[in-house]
Structure 1
């Protein structure tokens, strides 16, 4: 485990100019009504990146009014699906054309690894837009054979104005996961990016307009959860809210939606995912995967495999390999291509992770490695591994959202299934075994929305993601996400000479 360079990487890489810092409403960048701004902070340096317009309820009201007008009277929901498709394909092309700049914005704002963003992340976002563009002209209802003398059919219609509230850990992925299927369905929307990471969302709004998305269809209101997020969740003229974030905030979103206009809610919430390694697994292959499953993006990923269960026969060997791998793990500036792990998103998250590490030590877990902040500017924390962790310890129960792994030993299949399910969460899980009987038994027994067998973070445009239990409900990705932005209208007419006439 080493610290990456703290030198001036700008000497070999030019930080892009920050072009968009205002709210995006009705196709224009505008100041907030109050005129207030807030600082976007670079977690690498603790310095200000830009001052961002701070929206409030009045700005949400304006954005919703515009989105409602665009839905009720504008062209977007009424365009042939093929025209929406073509505009979205142009949008995806513009994302690819500006790939390096967008990757740099997400590195500045969210400390996403620049090399990964440039090689994979941003292009994947463009591909997801293309995926949903391909669905825009394939919206079909059903013709029904009714039990009486009736002719029946269904119309599949866009749900209306959608409020998207997105988190800070992967700004591009979160934006396209929400906006892509809603756009294809013909919805209009108000997007609230996380206050920590507003830059790429504003850039995407600009690109969408250049692609031909009509004014009022995508509106971006930057600001804070208790103001902008709360206003979206409770707004009487928003038909649906799609939220990704913490379980605590998800409860607030659902309560606000229920007590306002009973709007449709989709929630992708927290996780405490088990990563289960059976005796027959290849230690040399799986140990590095287990490390990445927990530490990727500084552990700031809802499906992080932070509870590592290792079967007792290979436990010691696996720990040794884990220590060998973590010794190679480089923490440092996410613009550095040699770095594996950047800083936590902000001071609040940094302090939270360090407090959980102290909890682990106080409650009797053994600190195997790490556990300290790096002695440098920025919110950097060493990758941290605890052993001798019991299921009732705070570090085993709570979603830490940081580079903290809990390693636990187990004996039997029955034991590990019971322990893996002993959590309020149910977002994802990993099963590492060469025995398909074990893989099938365990995957059918775990209460989680996504199960990966001998892989992890195996996301794909076709693969829906979403949780069980307190990890929420509703799906992102795949056609499930597309369908949630529609409502079904049933229509019946009597057949001539039927008794209904």
Structure 2
């Protein structure tokens, strides 16, 4: 996923402050850099990330330097099922730190029997939760946001440890959840439909919105907190109960977040199953997709898996909310301000090591500025501070898994075979963990197969274009339609870009990167991105069902088409 992830300025000078720090809703800009630096200095984690494997023979959670994990309620083996009580009878898995591939702790996943029990308890909990007035539900969500605030630094540190993103992004991702909670509190007093005039005397039409019931939430590894937050906070104020299955490789984060929420529900004497958790793999995900008791399934992940999920849900005429892949483009015209283009392309392509769904993977440059922009980008890439995610000065961390490294290498080789030239990067870094060089490739055809393939890695394909018509078509020719951005000063071109013949994406930007959406707008994309919308605007409607209600408050009964029964 990709809405979270702010901080263009941080990819250059240490002294350069983030330009958008005061903008509401841009959560990750607002995390004070000093706070992260203070935590890094105050912890005992410095240096551990690059220690040889021979010195890391035990689980990290058992080492004194990682004792802070226990402040989140984590231990050597954790129960991965919550439905009012903790349990789990499935497979025990181990999660690893991407920065050194050392084991962190273990999680016992859900069995199919655990899933069945959890769904039953969740549906019972809904009977209680649906009776709570929406503003009161908003109060509970406010308390969840406050509880997350109290743990924001330590939970963000876990995100950095288990997912691999840099600390400021890990903390900022938790802030994203907090911000959505704040947003949802206000929304809890505003959701509802209009009262409509009736053509019949003594009648009124009301649009009534009710919760769908049980919302299943399947999230991906790249934003293991924020995406759940978008869904959970909005679904809760709408009157739904939630069943969460996070990515197996970030199971500790799922457990830690659920423990925070469970405490709030317990303190308010509400059923814990309102926010249930079933850690697991494909068996649990398949069960959720096929289960008619799951009234809405929100799925975030790859287009390939998302298609399978959509077909299973559609088979039972269920509802799904899909947030899938993106093959996003930045377009820079000859009149573009290059002082905006270069840092925007850098941030969008390299942030989170290229593992956002809004990552810029294609860079279309007018032929008159192509060489200059590529050269500037190469110099900017050389300044990126690579290192341990825990270091507050580091701006680029590892890929999430070894498999991702192999995918990166495969994509680089394929780009070469198709005629591309690697002008920067292209190799695995010689250091512990899953580090690869951020990479720029030029010389490919705009419709090269590899350029039309989303690779979750920091590979940027740069192309030359001649005119507006062709580059607008090139932007739209990929199967996904998530995010896009244009850089120009031409007002007419800007509005053509925003219009029906312009970008066909769900996020259409001007003079900013493809990453960094605000929570107040609906987030999502078109075509193979899935069509779902989360977070702001009227995305709350996805979590509710609508009824049109006609009320006769007169003593007459005018029938349709003027029919009269004598």
What interval of TM-score do these two structures reach, taking the shorter chain for normalisation? over 0.9
Q: Which residue of 1 aligns with 2:28?
A: none
Q: 1:455 aligns with which of 469, 491, 512?
A: 512
Q: Which residue of 1 aligns with 2:550?
A: 492
1:254 and 1:58 mapped to 2: Cα distance? 24
Alignment of 1:86-235 (within 5 A): 86-118=139-171, 120-148=172-200, 150-212=203-265, 214-224=271-281, 226-235=282-291
Alpha-carbon distance in 1 for matches of 2:539, 2:205:
26
The answer to whether the 8 Å contact 1:452/1:458 transfers is: no
> How far apart are the structure 2 equivalents of 1:87 and 1:133?
9
Rounded Cα–Cα distance in structure 2 between residues aligned with 1:383 and 1:10: 20
Q: Partners in 1 of 2:111 and 2:283 — Cα distance?
A: 5
What corresponds to 2:124 in structure 1? 69
How far apart in 2 are the matches of 1:497 and 1:481?
Answer: 39
- Which residue is equivalent to 1:427? 482
Contact 1:431 1:443 in 2 (8 A): no
| SS of structure 1 residue aligned to 2:405 | helix
Query: What is aligned with 1:418?
Result: 473
In the alignment, does 2:301 pair up with 1:245?
yes
State how far apart, in whole Å, the 2-side matches of 1:163 and 1:241 are: 5
SS at match of 1:473: coil
Structure 2 Cα separation of the partners of residues 259 and 9 of structure 1 = 47
Matches of 2:217 and 2:543, distance apart in 1:
12
- 1:284-363 matched pairs, under 5 angstroms: 284-363=339-418
Q: Which residue of 2 aligns with 1:28?
A: 85
The answer on whether the counterparts of 1:395 and 1:406 sit within 8 Å (CA) in structure 2 is no
What's the CA shift for 1:86? 1.3
**Structure 2 CA distance, aligned partners of 1:206 and 1:362?**
49
Q: How does 1:32-43 map to 2 (within 5 A)?
A: 32-34=88-90, 36-43=91-98
Q: How far apart are the structure 2 equivalents of 1:293 and 1:315?
A: 18
| Cα pair distance change 1:148/1:357, threshold 3 Å | same
Contact 1:15-1:104 within 8 A present in 2 as well: no
1:46 CA drift (Å): 1.0
More moved, 61-70 vs 281-290: 281-290
Task: State the 1:304 CA deviation.
Answer: 0.9
Normalising by structure 2, we get a TM-score of 0.83
Q: What is the correspondence of 1:394-413 to structure 2 with a 5 Å cutoff?
A: 394-413=449-468
In the alignment, structure 1 segments of 5+ residues that lack a partner are none
Structure 2 vs 1, CA of residues 421 and 474 (structure 1 numbering), >3 Å: closer, same or farther? same
What is the CA distance between 1:106 and its match in structure 2?
Answer: 0.4
2:423 to 368, 375, 380: 368
Measured after TM superposition, the shift of residue 470 of structure 1 is 0.8
TM-score between the two structures when normalised by the length of structure 1: 0.94
On the 8 A contact 2:49/2:100 being kept in 1, the answer is: no
Q: Quick one: which of 448, 461, 475 aligns to 2:533?
A: 475
Whether the aligned pair in 1 keeps the contact of 2:332 and 2:364 (CA below 8 Å) is yes
**1:428-461 CA distances to partner (integer Å, 9 max, x unpaired)?**
1011112222222123211100011111223212
Distance 1:343 1:15, change over 3 A: farther
In structure 2, distance between residues paired with 1:394 and 1:7: 41
Give me the whole-angstrom Cα distance separating, in 1, the residues matched to 2:383 and 2:331. 23
Match of 1:270 in 2: 325
* Maintained 8 Å contact 2:95/2:162: yes
- Counterpart of 1:59 in structure 2 is 114
Q: CA deviation at 1:419?
A: 1.0
Q: Is the 8 A contact 1:464 1:477 kept in 2?
A: yes
CA–CA distance in 2 between the matches of 1:133 and 1:343? 36
Kindly state the Cα deviation for residue 14 of structure 1 after the two structures are TM-superposed: 5.3
**2:69 and 2:158 in contact (8 A); partners too:** no
The answer to whether the Cα contact below 8 Å between 1:284 and 1:321 also exists between their aligned partners in 2 is no
Gaps of 5+ in 2: 1-10, 12-44, 52-63, 560-564
Determine helix, strand or coil for the equivalent of 2:441: strand
Is 2:447 the partner of 1:389? no
Using a 3 Å threshold, how does the CA distance of structure 1 residues 449 and 15 change in structure 2: closer, same or farther? farther
Q: Give the distance between the partners of 1:60 and 1:26, measured in 2 at CA.
A: 9
Secondary structure of residue in 2 paired with 1:400: coil
